[in-house]
Chains A and B, each alone.
Chain A
Amino acid sequence: MAQRVIDTNNRFIERPRSFCSLGGALLTVTALPETVPILHAAMGCGGSIYWNQYGSTGYLGAGYCGGLAVPSSNIQEKDIIFGGLDRLEEQVKSTIELMEGKLYIILTGCTADIIGDDVQSVVRQYRNEGISIFGAETGGFHGDGYKGYDIVLSVLVQEFIERQKVKKKNKVNLLGVVPGQDAFWRGNLLKIRELLEKLGLEVNSFFTEHDTLDGIRNAGNAELTIVVSEFYAHNTAETLKEIHHIPYMINPFPIGPTATEAFLKKVAETLEIPSDTVKQLIETETKHYFRYVERVADAYNDLDWQRYAVVVGDVNYAPAITKFLADDLGWLPELMVVTNDIDENQKQKINNVIETLTSQYPTTIVYETDPTEIKTHFWKIVPRKTDRLFHDDFSPAFVIGSHLEREFAIDIGAGHLTVSYPVGNRIVLNRGYAGYDGSLSLIEDLLTVIAAQR
């Protein structure tokens, strides 16, 4: 397996496939019910994040009070020289006066973090007045959007979720799907939540229409945290364990019947759910999946819709889609490009998903952040066209990635579907790719690209 090592944390990134931690935190906060964010940041952070959101999240709009409505201290040079706390205090006061919310969360930007404004002093002051408010240090230089999500949720777990000694049987918290960074976050969370509910669980998923602020406050009596990501939200899960004594389990992001079956079995085993219950659920869901697959199988076979594939995506999507293609759809994922900036230990976890494919498909794994370099990796494993009469080339082909891979797909004559960040050429509402039902949508979307040419 050819793998290329890139040095992490010490190089530039071409067209980064992520928000900064402030952006990730802001999208997380605006996804929470009845919550008002307050940025303590330079004036452009709010706009920069919103424009980014516009081109990367499947046209996820501002929502209740995101976008250009987000309260922000808009600190200036003089605040940076003399400290920005007076401005923050004034902004918090006027925000509480003007904006309707049940929870206020202050998020700091680079400027405030570097000058070291003591945000907690402002938080304490308003808490004493009975306002539900906390602050998180989320300046962009702390990391990417995934990190911002983890930072702000960790603080939420620490400051907002009430401590409860007695745990409730079969109640779980669900983490690992990052609002905005995953354009399909709403659909994915709903689909996983519904599956877990069918398993008989009560689920706090923070960001769906079924979640409430009271539900989140009361999440401290869950008996398990289920993380559907090998990487995201681990600090939050760890904080839930430390403070609320809730153990957690880590799973790869599940797409398709093979991965989802393994996921459900693991959850059932951890929670000691009777094996009959999980067996029955898997049976019903598999039947549901094939009820639809059966009737697209005609075209799949008649029109020869098997494809070679290149999969480009973040640590959640890249292995999950590769696995679905290899283990369920019968496609040929020759190259998988993982786009997060991660270290060797983390890479091993991803490699493991691919090494344990049930189809044993020999996918080449590459770790690469930069879009223009993907072509270089591709041509290393795929022989170039020759002028010989007979040539076994990479066709028919498909590229599943972000909208940044469109140019590459056109170049190699492949179909293209945008799934991972940035998602700027698709509209995403309630669609999700997780689980059994989600993978049906993925089949729909992949094959529609091919059928649209007929």
Chain B
Amino acid sequence: MNYLEQKVAPRREERLGSCIEFGGTVGEIHKQFCSGCLKNKRRAFSQGTICQLLPATAILTSLQDCVVIVHGAVGCGGAVHALGASVRLGQFNSGDKNPKGALWLSTNLNENDVVSGGEEKLKRTIVEADKRYRPSAIIVLSTCVPGIIGDDIDGVADALKEQVSATLLPIHCEGFKTKIMATAYDAIFHSFLRNMMDGKDETEFRVYDNEIAVTAEKLRRRRLVNLLNISSMTGPDQKELMRLLSKLGLEVNMLPCDAHPDAFRLAPFAALSIGVCPTHDDYFMTYLEQKFGVPFVGGQMPIGIENTSRWLRQIAVKLGLTDAAERIIKSETDELNQALKPLLSHLKGKRVMLSAGEMRTLATAVLLQELGMEILAVRPYHYDEFGGTEIEKLETINPNIRINVATAQPFEAVNILYRTKPDLYVGHNCDNIWAAKCGVSILPIYGTNSIYCGYAGAYDVARRLKRHLKNTSFNEHLAKHVRQPYKEIWYSENPFKYILGGE
């Protein structure tokens, strides 16, 4: 890859051929993606969804000692009122008894700014933010309005570099630029790589007490790993992964979520980078290797029993810890399988549909299959080469599992729900309601301070599924008394009717 010279990271459409429109079976998508004919579709009917600003603010407002400036109209960034709850929880979990929550500013662009440009206002905002909050870094997110009127956020940051004490990180996530919201992850890391990670080793400037301390630091770095967390991971998720890695004797530098910017500065000196989701971290880990020589393992999520074991094995191979890993895997899975036994009878044969980010949806489907459930349909928010490994697994189980690639678009989901009538829907925050209104029980696919990752996650998901299937009356009543906004005829139509071929 060679994108860092450019101000803006490439769109996922170009870099990975990602798509958000597909309806068919897992067998079909696998075949079609491999032959490169998934691109350039569109919908003649679409529903409001998520742009790259949402995942960007979710990650960036969780950073410690940073201020996020959303350069745009007053509504852009408003999602942080909801996302801030997780930020607050993260701060609380790490010991702050009166957490401040997410700190962000809107440049509040108005009619005048649209005409005369928003750069001056942005400058004043940066200077005042530096003075008022004294943050270690100020992150500037560009939105649609400055993207159209042509504000040069990189130029503004450059001009102020000497004037403010915070490190400035301009990030481009204009909503109209890409259909793939996951482009945000590249945009974020792109800016950190360009503006913060110069590869200077801070320890070279540090005064150590004695030579033993110097040696200790050197030794520490041999077992220091970067763990690339994601904003849909909860505190308990992170704890579970840390638990497994510490069993391998590793010390963790966790980033980007909830991290201090110093974690980015330290990242080039780790022995290995460990991904938990290629949709999030492949761009960053690839550059960490390319630029600083830090090798990485990635390509899958540690969600599901087999996936967690594979994840541990990948890490162990890189660090020469295979024996230790096998011992851990054996003892953990033995104990887990024992614990799962009484739960599995409640789940056996229950029919499920899933919907969320690409990797999360597919990996969770594989987990539910391991728990003895039947996968009817998966709805990843987008699809690209990263999905391939999990799709292959699903294809082996049943090539006719339905797949609908869509970033939310509940009208397609509801149509499929009416046809397939699953017992359970495992979906993304804010899109579960449309399945709930069909009377289906819901397990949220991430969040709520529960565990999904690792072996503990596999157990907890099973435990929670049992609970959800034990009393299904809330959504059953709901379905009887509220209606969906679609005309009756929609339920007899092809759910993918509005997906049009190439332009």
Contacts and interface: CB of A to CB of B under 8 A. Distances in A.
Contacts of B104: 14-15
A73 B81 CA distance: 25
A12 B125 contact: yes
Given A110-B73, A141-B109, A141-B145, A46 B49 contact: yes
B3 interface: no
Contacts of A115: 148
Given A16-B106, A141-B111, A100 B433 contact: no
Contact of B410 (A61, A69, A111): A69
Nearest to B122: A12
Interface in B432-466: 433-434
A349 to B, nearest CB: 22
B175 interface: yes
A46 B50 CA distance: 7
Contact of A140 (B73, B83, B485): B73
Contacts of A256: none
Interface stretch (A87-95, A263-271, A303-311, A377-385): A87-95
Contact of A42 (B110, B175, B490): B175
A16 B431 contact: no
Given A16-B78, A98-B486, A110-B144, A51 B54 contact: yes
Interface size class of A (residues with CB under 8 A): 35 or more
Given A19-B78, A42-B176, A47-B54, A69 B47 contact: yes
A308 to B, nearest CB: 20
B53 interface: yes
Contact of A143 (B110, B113, B128): B110
B485 A46 contact: no
Interface in A1-26: 9-16, 18-23
A47 B176 contact: no
B69 interface: yes
A313 interface: no
B297 interface: no
Nearest to B45: A94
B75 A140 contact: yes
Contact of B98 (A41, A67, A91, A411): A411
B247 interface: no
Contacts, number: 247
Interface stretch (A74-82, A165-173, A244-252, A357-365): A74-82
Contact of B490 (A43, A52, A64, A98): A98
Contact of A76 (B99, B110, B125, B179): B179
A402 B265 CA distance: 37
B383 to A, nearest CB: 17
A69 B411 contact: yes
B177 interface: yes
B430 interface: yes
Interface in B376-416: 407-411
A39 B45 CA distance: 12
Contacts of A36: 485
Contacts of A13: 74, 105-106, 108
A339 B100 CA distance: 19
B124 A11 contact: yes
Contacts of A16: 74, 77-78, 106, 108
Contacts of B124: 11-12
Interface size class of B (residues with CB under 8 A): 35 or more
Contacts of A10: 121
B17 to A, nearest CB: 17
A70 B47 contact: yes
Given A12-B107, A69-B410, A94 B44 contact: yes
Contacts of A188: none
Nearest to B73: A140
Contacts of A76: 176, 179
B62 to A, nearest CB: 15
A75 B48 contact: no
Interface in B121-138: 121, 124-125, 128-129, 132-133
Contacts of B108: 9, 11-13, 16, 341
Query: Main SS of the interface on chain B?
Result: loop
Given A67-B433, A80-B176, A91 B45 contact: yes
Interface in B167-211: 175-177, 179, 181
Contacts of A23: 75, 78
Contacts of B52: 44
Interface in A128-180: 139-145
B46 A99 contact: no
Nearest to A48: B79
Name, among B75, B79, B434, the residue most crowded by chain A CB atoms within 10 Å (CB to CB): B75
A18 B75 CA distance: 7
Name, among A10, A73, A145, the residue most crowded by chain B CB atoms within 10 Å (CB to CB): A10
A111 B148 contact: yes
A443 interface: no
A95 B433 CA distance: 20
Given A11-B124, A15-B80, A67 B430 contact: yes
Contacts of B408: 47, 68
Contacts of B431: 68
B438 to A, nearest CB: 13
Interface string B260-286: 000000000000000000000000000
B344 interface: no
B106 A50 contact: no
Name, among A10, A90, A140, the residue most crowded by chain B CB atoms within 10 Å (CB to CB): A140
A95 B409 CA distance: 13
A127 B303 CA distance: 52
B61 to A, nearest CB: 10
A65 interface: yes
Contacts of B50: 43-44, 47-48
A55 interface: yes
Given A14-B105, A52-B78, A69-B411, A74 B485 contact: no
A114 B434 CA distance: 33
B187 to A, nearest CB: 14
Contact of B485 (A14, A48, A64): A64
B48 A39 contact: yes
B98 A407 contact: yes
B85 A424 contact: yes
Name, among B48, B125, B407, the residue most crowded by chain A CB atoms within 10 Å (CB to CB): B48
Interface in B55-112: 69, 72-85, 98-112
Contacts of B102: 15
Contact of A68 (B73, B76, B430, B490): B430
Given A111-B148, A407-B100, A140 B48 contact: no
Contacts of B327: none
Contact of A80 (B78, B129, B148): B148
B470 interface: no
Given A13-B106, A76-B176, A140-B75, A56 B101 contact: no
Contacts of A47: 48-51, 54, 79, 408, 430
A70 B430 contact: no
Nearest to A50: B430
Given A56-B78, A407-B100, A46 B430 contact: no
A141 B110 contact: yes
Given A13-B74, A36-B485, 10 more contacts: A14-B103, A48-B78, A55-B82, A69-B485, A71-B48, A90-B44, A140-B74, A372-B103, A372-B133, A407-B100
25 contacts: A10-B121, A12-B129, A13-B105, A15-B102, A16-B78, A19-B78, A20-B76, A43-B48, A45-B175, A47-B430, A48-B51, A52-B79, A54-B430, A64-B485, A70-B48, A71-B46, A72-B48, A75-B176, A76-B176, A90-B44, A94-B44, A110-B73, A111-B148, A111-B175, A407-B100
5 pairs of A and B residues whose beta carbons are closest in the complex: A46-B48, A44-B51, A20-B75, A55-B82, A140-B73
